[in-house]
Structure 1
Amino acid sequence: MKPLHQRLHLYTEGDDTYIFVPADEGIETQSLTVHRSSGDIVLNRPNTPLPIYAKRSQRTIYGIVGLIALSLSEYIIVITSRELKGRLMGHEIYRATDFDILPLSPNVSARNPLHPVESHLLALVRSHLRGGHFLFAYGWDITRRLQAQWETQEQAAHKALWEMADDRFFWNRFLQTRLIDATSANAKQDLAKFILPIMYGTFDLRPVFLHGRHMQLCLVSRRSRFRAGTRYFRRGIDREGHVANFNETEQLLLVEGPALPGAQRISDDMFATKLSFVQIRGSVPLFWAEVNTLRYKPDLQIMELKETAETMKKHLLEQVTIYGDQYLVNLVNHKGHEGPVKEAYERYINELNLPNVRYEYFDFHNECKHMRWDRISVLIDILKDDLEKAGYFRLDASQPQPLKMQNGIVRTNCMDNLDRTNVVQAALAKHTLTIQLRDLGILPANAGIDDYEGFSKDFREMWANHADLISTAYAGSGALKSDFTRTNKRTRMGLLEDGVKSVLRYIKNNYFDGVRQDAFDLMTGNWVPRKNPAASLFLVTDARPLITRSIPVIASFSLFMICAGLTLPRTSDYSLLYYFLLWFSLLAITLAFMVIHGIDYVAWPRLIPPTDIIYYTGPGFRSGHHGKGLKDNFGLAKRARWLGTPRGRVGADHMELGDMKKRVD
């Protein structure tokens, strides 16, 4: 695989150019020039001298994330700080920890932009970079599982890293479009050494020792860039067959060979055996959503579109093509709020009746009630034959071909694909890891990893940390039920922590996730701004009616007056009674107004607002019509205008969020 530049020096020539000069040893030096006025990207000839007046930046560049065009200028995003996460088979894996944003337009400052729209868009970019967990490697394709890398090793030997990267997990693919297009358009201008694929996910690598064998246990999760977003603003499937919160999780076990007397370690990849077990998770592949209304339980909306079956089939067949047989494990409740999702999912699965897809329902909450979390073993017993059939990937250094291939995969989901999914995936991973260690002869036939506390503790911590990071990226807080993952026990303290996390999720999902969703849509290319900030003024203005905007202010002032009244002297009980009656009444009226008109107070995404889902009137299921006013249709058009102008009628044949087509404003 073609090597990448690991360090770059940045030079600026006045306001004319940015020049990236490789600082690597052993790689023929070809600097990269970006002309700020025209935006042209030029790969210079080897050892081209720097301009006389070029000035070097004090900060080292560890990679170019890509270029993004906003309303006033195009910007280059670069990595200025990195953290070493571990060495995997001789390759260093890094997390990007700090970034810089370089404007191309000489008249634009990234720190003090000239227009509030540009300032808002830059804030979205910074928040996304600051809040994400971005991983990369210079010589290892972190976006692909071990088995996929082995299957394409001959092809990869002559390809660039970005050419082999899994398109689903190549997070900055949209940002790298300019560099990739420049390479494709000119065969003499190969920018491959500057194109760094970045993955949004998790990585944990730990050395372990068991029965005299040195090993490494590694856990990697890869988040898909398709239909990416936050918990309530990205649910279900789009018409391309991509589902929300899709993650591939790979557990690697690397085992060194028996140590020989006097043997010396000659490389970082001295593992005699490499084993990989992969699982996936993703939203229920239906057109569905949960509509925030400020209530703790949002309104559940299932859209029965004519293309639902075909789109679900497209999604499942894609997974079969990539991973082999699909074993679908559904953990949603069979009754109550979640029941309609289960019913619709099973109905379409039965209708499709795909030969390589097996569906299994597990009533998680009923089976594990009263903190009986050991009942997860019931599901393991049900899936035991399927897990054996699917297998795992095993590669031995002494053999030219793998001893085992993973021919199928378990796809687990609950409502959010977070908490219950994490518990079940960790249990499946533990079961498979035990089988792998027994197959290697490291564990006896009647032993499990829980019998070895040090090894078990590392395993549990890895899966709990992995669960927290995935949950934070999607829902805004760490995973629930993580006490069981960490300790193998469900505790009352864990229940209390889950309560705190649930409150935190509620606050973030209702009041902060709109901005986070906008950042996802901007950075992944789902929304592209026009070169005119005036066309995007809706991003920085509040178009809600005056009465709607004033109600929270009145409620806050009423609460202040109530608190102030507690300090007033008691000159007359009647005067205080009327005083508190006035302000408590006003507070109650304003709070009731906010509950009745709840959708007006949710922080919705502004780039691609889900108007067509909120006001969907086609066939399907809706658990309630809360937050829309005293009457469902009262003021509908008025509210739809401030939330986002619908393009066409709102109904079964038009659904913006399901389409997820690139939008330009």
Structure 2
Amino acid sequence: MSQLHQRLQLYTQGNDTYIFVPPDTVGAQSLTIHRSSGELVLNPPHSLPPSARRSGKILHGILGIISLSLSDYVVVISEREFKGRLLGHDIYRATDFELLPLSQNINVANPPHPVEAHLIALVRSHLLGGSFLFSYDWDMTRRLQAQWETREQDTSKAFWETADDRFFWNKFLQTRLIELTMGNASQNLSSYILPIMYGTFDLRNAVLEGRSLQICLISRRSRFRAGTRYFRRGIDHDGHVANFNETEQLLLVEDPAAGAAGVDAGTQMSFVQIRGSVPVFWAEVNTLRYKPDLQVMDLQETADMMRKHLQEQVSTYGEQALVNLVNRKGYEQPVKEAYERYVSQITLPGVRYQYFDFHNECKKMRWDRISVLIDELQTDLQRYGYFCLTANRPESVKLQRGTVRTNCMDNLDRTNVVQAALAKWTLNEQLTSVGILPEGGSIDSYEALAKDFREMWADHADAIANAYGGSGALKSDFTRTGKRTRMGVMEDGVKSSLRYLKNNFFDGARQDGFDLVTGNWDQRPLITRSMPFTVSVSLFMICAGLTLPRTSGKAPIIRSFIGLSSGSLTLALSLAFIVLHGVDYVSWPRLVPSTEYIYYKGPGFRSGQHGKGFGGEDKPKTRIGTSISLKWLNHRKRVSVAVMEEGQKKRVD
């Protein structure tokens, strides 16, 4: 397996080329990218042109190449943070990035066109706002059992070839390097193709009963159907679900016979869980109300897509216990009923549905009632097991033969609580199996370890919730302390308010960053665009009428009263208009239309038709803020949009 270059020295040759030189690898081939043609060429060792000028920048990897409207850009990691050492391998998080334009006329700091400036800002915001993890010699995208099962085949493969396609976050950006490597044996760029994953990594050391151990928690976010809370829900037409995360808890225990070799030479154990959106076609349509309109779409292909999704999980992980935490009453009930209706239509061996009425069982802050669900899953957990490997035995001791797939509405807060409880139950079982805990013992008897465990899971929950929902996880006080508190309830209120603001007014741009396409048009009617300005003027009139000094006499008083009355009336009418046309004021993604579910009129369930104005449900089916037809949505493949600006044709991929 070819080794990845850990450091790259950047050279430039005028405005013609970028040259990446690995300074730490003797005899390594440098990589030249020609700016005018975009051609990538591996150079013979020690063949740096005399005219090449050293830039002074040490880079830590190439993420790939992205095409925007005016230029292609090489995306590189300019700064990294050491996160820990796992099984002898260094793990890093990328903390800063640079975009190197191929066009000689582009200045990233001052782009020549506002569309290009906007796209660059989207890319940078996405990269800086995410948690991107990587290692140069250990596959962060794959769980321990998967790496062990393919260890012999992987020796002849490049590093990027072994990565899990779901969690290879920059796979699209690396397309050009991968295609060149596969199509030309003399131009093998594998040492430059660095896979990164979007997720979390936390590693804690502990000593228990005289034994050294490490607990590591890794979450991996799928790049398929990725995005933000209200703009990526349910399943798509490829069987991918929103907010799919694989979470792996690793336990490394020192072997007393190994002496100073430490935990790396001892017992290695892995327990994997997954989460993902309810696998039916559903959405929530923001209307500026606190609760969006709930839309469940009964499409002809729903059962087939659910079957495809679950078959993939069975093929990857083994048996499945589908734990559904969606409320059985009220707003969430239609999603629960749709899930149960379709899962009953498909009969798959090794798949079992388990409903748990979370809010009813745990009401009045009785969070200890999670034990009821664990009791119901205990037979499954024992049968599925966990992966276990010891250094003194070449074969595995145990394989994990199934996973629990947990979901609530967002796959965030309730899901986090349940996954942490299942992970704790399994950790107790693992520590008992190696003789550290007595039969029936618990880490709760060891406060330092219990505290580390709770903090790891709470931090993990906050990271996933921030990436998808825009705030830290709710109910995290229980995960962090083991108790549900009134202060925690108040903090949840603040987090919910923050989610409301971000989901309605900021997530459109965040979703655009995920989608990495183009467009920033605002073609709403003039009256719609003018309402926020009208509100501002009305507030000014009211404030002026209340605060400005008045002269004596009836006329000024009457004028003040008229100003206050007209300002208040205008304000009321403007706010009413905004609420009535709420969908026009939500920050929708501008790059991938949301029309498919905003104006859906097929069979299914709709909780309301708010925010569309009078006769809103009969509006033309065009995306909010653009004139793109609904037919655009039917193209499942990557599309190109030609935009004519100032007489120049600009390509947008």
TM-score range, shorter chain: over 0.9
Structure 1: runs of 5 or more not aligned: 530-538, 649-653
1:536-564 C-alpha deviation (Å, 9 max, x unpaired): xxx33320111101111111221233233
Match of 1:28 in 2: 27
Q: Which residues of 2 match residues 260-279 of structure 1 at below 5 A?
A: 263-265=259-261, 270-279=264-273
CA contact (8 A) 2:545 2:561 kept: no
Separation (CA, whole Å) in 1 of partners of 2:278 and 2:401: 23
Match of 1:368 in 2: 362
CA contact (8 A) 2:64 2:170 kept: yes
SS of equivalent residue, structure 2 residue 237: coil
Separation (CA, whole Å) in 1 of partners of 2:124 and 2:247: 27
Separation (CA, whole Å) in 2 of partners of 1:343 and 1:98: 45
1:78-111 C-alpha deviation (Å, 9 max, x unpaired): 0010000000000000000001100011111122
Match of 1:437 in 2: 431
The one-letter amino acid paired with 1:555 is V
Output the TM-score relative to the length of structure 1.
Answer: 0.93
CA contact (8 A) 2:238 2:305 kept: yes
Structure 2: runs of 5 or more not aligned: 642-653
CA contact (8 A) 1:238 1:660 kept: no
The one-letter amino acid paired with 1:663 is V
The one-letter amino acid paired with 2:70 is L
Match of 1:315 in 2: 309
Match of 1:493 in 2: 487
Match of 1:410 in 2: 404
Q: Which residues of 2 match residues 13-162 of structure 1 at below 5 A?
A: 13-25=13-25, 27-48=26-47, 50-162=48-160
Superposed displacement of residue 633, structure 1: 4.0
SS of equivalent residue, structure 2 residue 224: coil
SS of equivalent residue, structure 1 residue 663: coil
Separation (CA, whole Å) in 2 of partners of 1:352 and 1:374: 34
Separation (CA, whole Å) in 2 of partners of 1:138 and 1:159: 15
Q: Tell me whether 1:395 sits opposite 2:379 in the alignment.
A: no
CA contact (8 A) 1:7 1:23 kept: yes
Where does structure 1 differ by over 6 angstroms across 4 or more consecutive aligned residues?
Answer: none
SS of equivalent residue, structure 1 residue 348: helix
**Greater mean alpha carbon deviation, residues 104-113 or residues 332-341:** 104-113
Superposed displacement of residue 9, structure 1: 0.1
Which one of 237, 243, 252 corresponds to residue 239 of structure 1? 237
Separation (CA, whole Å) in 1 of partners of 2:435 and 2:160: 39
CA contact (8 A) 2:599 2:621 kept: no
Separation (CA, whole Å) in 1 of partners of 2:106 and 2:400: 52
Q: Tell me whether 1:662 sits opposite 2:638 in the alignment.
A: yes
Superposed displacement of residue 330, structure 1: 0.2
CA contact (8 A) 2:596 2:630 kept: no
CA contact (8 A) 1:612 1:646 kept: no
Aligned residues: 637
Separation (CA, whole Å) in 1 of partners of 2:46 and 2:275: 48
Instruction: Evaluate the alpha carbon distance shift between residue 256 and residue 638 of structure 1 in structure 2; reply closer, same or farther with a 3 A threshold.
Output: closer
Separation (CA, whole Å) in 1 of partners of 2:431 and 2:220: 25
Superposed displacement of residue 581, structure 1: 2.2
Which one of 611, 615, 636 corresponds to residue 631 of structure 1? 615
Match of 1:588 in 2: 572
The one-letter amino acid paired with 2:625 is W
CA contact (8 A) 1:480 1:501 kept: yes
Q: Which has the higher contact order (CA 8 A, sep 6+)?
A: 1
Instruction: Evaluate the alpha carbon distance shift between residue 443 and residue 81 of structure 1 in structure 2; reply closer, same or farther with a 3 A threshold.
Output: same
Superposed displacement of residue 655, structure 1: 5.9
Q: Tell me whether 1:185 sits opposite 2:168 in the alignment.
A: no
Superposed displacement of residue 647, structure 1: 3.7
Superposed displacement of residue 71, structure 1: 1.1
Q: Which residues of 2 match residues 170-569 of structure 1 at below 5 A?
A: 170-258=168-256, 263-265=259-261, 270-522=264-516, 527=517, 539-569=519-549
Kindly report the root-mean-square deviation, in angstroms, between the aligned alpha carbons of the 2 structures.
Answer: 1.6
Separation (CA, whole Å) in 2 of partners of 1:419 and 1:243: 18
1:225-244 C-alpha deviation (Å, 9 max, x unpaired): 00000000000111111000
Match of 1:536 in 2: none
Separation (CA, whole Å) in 2 of partners of 1:313 and 1:348: 9
The one-letter amino acid paired with 1:417 is N
The one-letter amino acid paired with 2:148 is W
1:356-382 C-alpha deviation (Å, 9 max, x unpaired): 110000000111111111010110000
SS of equivalent residue, structure 1 residue 280: strand
Superposed displacement of residue 577, structure 1: 3.9
Superposed displacement of residue 580, structure 1: 2.4
Q: Tell me whether 1:12 sits opposite 2:12 in the alignment.
A: yes
1:10-68 C-alpha deviation (Å, 9 max, x unpaired): 0000011100000224x5321000011111100111222x2222111222100000000
Q: Which residues of 2 match residues 574-585 of structure 1 at below 5 A?
A: 576-585=560-569
